[in-house]
Amino acid sequence: MASAPLVTQPLEPLATPAGAEIAIVAADQFASRRIATALADSGFAPRTVAREVAELIELTPLPRPDAILLAVDPASATSLADVRRLTAAFRGTHVVIVSTGADGAGVRQVLGAGAAGVVNEAELEVTLVATTQAVLVGNICVPRKLHRCLFKPAFSHRERQVLALVVRGFGNRQIAARLFLAESTVKSHLASAFQKLGVRSRKEAAALLMDPDEGLGASVIGVEVDPPVFANGAGVHGR
C-alpha cells in the first residue's frame, strides 16, 4: 500500500525571551550594523554596541547583558582572550561568536573558553536570531558542518603517531623518516588531523593537544611512534 507523502509545515519562529538584554561587540562597523539589523528585524533590540571587549566592559553597568554577540575570527590570537574576558566580566552571560573566519578553525577553542554559540558571518541574517534564541534558553548552538567541534575527535593510529611527533617538534621529513612513510603521506595525515582539531598550524595543534582542559593529549602523547623492527633490523613500512 502506497504511503501518504510527508508534508512538512514551516516552523514558527521561537518567541524572543522577554526583556532579553543584548550587546554587540564588533570592530567592523559594517558587521555591527548587519548584526543589529538582523536582530531588529526579529524583535531584538541591542542595548549596547561596542567596538572592543574592553569598551563593552566599561560601557555596561549592571544588570549584565543576557547575550553578547562577538564578531571575531575564532582562530585569531585574541579571540580566546576576548571570550574569557567576557565570561569573567559577565558571569552567566551567553556569548555568541559571529565568526569572520572561513574554515571553522578555532571554534573548538572558543567553545572551550565559554562561548555558547557560533554563527558564520556570511549566514548571520538567516541564523543569528535562531542561535541567539537557542543559547538564551541554555543550549549550545553551532552550524551543522561544525558539529565535530562539540566532540572530542577520533584519530586514526597513524594520525596519533604523526601528532605525537608534531608535539615533540619533528618536521614532516623527520616524521616520514621515523615512521617509514612518504612525506606526502605525512602531510595527508596532518591535514586530516588538523581538520578534526579545527586548527590551521602545527603550533595550534600542539597547543591544543597539550592543553589539559581539552583532555586530548592522553590519547596522542603516549602512542608508540617507533616502527616495529624484525630480527634482521628492518622496519615495517606502512601507510
C-alpha cell at 121: 558571518
So what's the pLDDT on residue 45? Answer: 78
pTM to 2 decimal places: 0.68
Q: What is the CA radius of gyration of the chain?
A: 22
So what's the pLDDT on residue 54? Answer: 93
Q: Are 96 and 69 in contact (CB under 8 A)?
A: yes
Distance CA 162, CA 190 (A): 7
So what's the pLDDT on residue 42? Answer: 82
Q: How many CA atoms lie within 13 A of 55 on its CB side?
A: 11
Task: Tell me the mean pLDDT per 10 residues along the chain, length 239.
Answer: 39 51 93 92 84 89 85 89 93 93 79 91 92 92 78 86 93 94 95 86 86 75 68 50
Q: What are phi and psi of 20, to 5 degrees?
A: -65, 130
C-alpha cell at 172: 614532516
